[in-house]
Amino acid sequence: MKLIYSLFIIFSVLSCKNSERIEIEKLHIDNIIQVKGETISQIPAGCYIAGIIRDTFLCLQNECFEKRFQIFSNNTKNMLYEFGTTGRGPNEYQFPLIINSDTNSSSLLIHDLVQNRLTRIYLKNDSSIYTTLAPELANSQNLNILDSTFVLSPIGEDSALFYLYDKHVEIIKKIDYEPQFYVSRRGNKSDAYSHILSVNPQHNSIIAAFRYINLINFYHLDGSLQKSLSLDLVNDEVDYSEFQLSEDMLVTSYKMYCTPNFCYILWSGLSVNDGYNRPPYILVFTWNGSLERVYQLDTFTNFIFVDEANKQFLGGVDSQKEELVEIKRFKY
């Protein structure tokens, strides 16, 4: 009888633990720091969509020039070389994305979604190594690669927010949508929960910042949800039961750039139509979910990357003179 009672107690405790739900914590935002930008004249305007600082190099992805990646000196801002044309052969790309979470600071890691291929560019001697990913990792985005784990989001899949794979490409864990907002139509759930994902093995942390939900989730590296945060910068309640992508929907976290100690999230709080009416915020989080600072830029910015050594944000800003993107620095 004592054994049965003891087993009942253990089962009850485990059941309660498994049924725990993380409540969304609403952050009150004040003490917003205003920062002004200035155009970096040495970098010509282009169709830039992303950037990253690697060692002494400033790397930009450019979508309208023949070469799709341009490498500058981060000290002088002068161009050193460029590489990568459109195609399917060596040093050619179809849909390339820079992997920001890569820990090798002297090289650039690029994921081509269409070719399901990784390319590592060694920046000091402009050499490269190519790796074709396993078929199981195709049709994925937000790819993060650790020593023995792949963390990624499936494209257009309603059954999981993201997956953890081991080095043998076996699923370790499938991470569900949390919190569960009701979405009525199949195919709309992955749209409603569209997100940016970044991983830090040193802090055992995964951050998922959502584009259309006022929500930022922090997970342990094992996939367990640790913290859910929302901001009081917007009060609108969105009905996700009939969610559809449109220019009237609320945009929240739309870009993220992470370093070993911090994650910088570009956050709007306006609709697609109204996004230019108010400059975005930069939320600076530690990897455990502590909000350290909030900045507001003086102009709408498409993306950011951060030069922590020189205490400046670098951002792609639409040019007022031509239909291109300029690179501005925002000193903080």
pLDDT of the chain, 332 residues: tens digit per residue: 444 444 344 434 444 444 467 899 999 999 999 999 999 999 999 999 999 999 999 999 999 889 999 999 999 999 999 999 999 988 899 999 999 999 888 999 999 999 999 999 999 988 899 999 999 999 999 999 988 899 999 998 899 999 999 999 999 999 999 888 888 777 789 999 999 999 999 999 999 999 999 999 999 999 999 999 999 998 767 788 888 888 888 999 999 999 999 999 999 999 988 988 899 999 999 999 999 999 999 999 999 999 999 999 999 999 988 899 999 999 99
**Would you say 305 and 52 are in contact if contact means Cβ atoms under 8 Å apart?**
yes
Q: What is the pLDDT of residue 57?
A: 97
- Collapse the DSSP code of 10 into the 3-class scheme (helix H, G, I; strand E, B; otherwise coil) and give the result: helix
Q: Which amino acid is at 324?
A: L
Residue-range domain boundaries for the chain? 24-331
Q: What is the pLDDT of residue 317?
A: 97
CA–CA dist 22, 11 (Å, integer): 21
Q: What is the pLDDT of residue 136?
A: 92
Residues 6+ apart with CB under 8 A from 183: 189, 192, 240, 241, 243
DSSP-derived secondary structure for 56-119: TEEEEEESSSSSSEEEEETTT--EEEEE-EESSSTTEESSEEE-TT---TTEEEEEETTTTEEE
Handedness of CA 50, 134, 137, 146 (dihedral sign): negative
Predicted structure pTM score: 0.91
Q: What is the pLDDT of residue 234?
A: 86
Residues 6+ apart with CB under 8 A from 31: 294
Nearest Cα neighbor of 163 from 105, 128, 123, 206 is 206
Q: Which amino acid is at 106?
A: S
Q: What is the pLDDT of residue 302?
A: 97
Give the angle subtended at the CA of 300 by the CAs of 313 and 107, to the nearest 5°: 40
Q: Which two tokens stand for residue 134?
A: 């396993």
CA distances from 116 to 95, 138, 185 (A): 9, 6, 29
**Would you say 116 and 133 are in contact if contact means Cβ atoms under 8 Å apart?**
yes
**Looking at domain 24-331, which of 2.30.42.10, 2.120.10.30, 3.40.720.10, 1.10.10.10 is its CATH number?**
2.120.10.30
Whether cis (ω within 30° of 0) applies to the bond prior to 201 is no
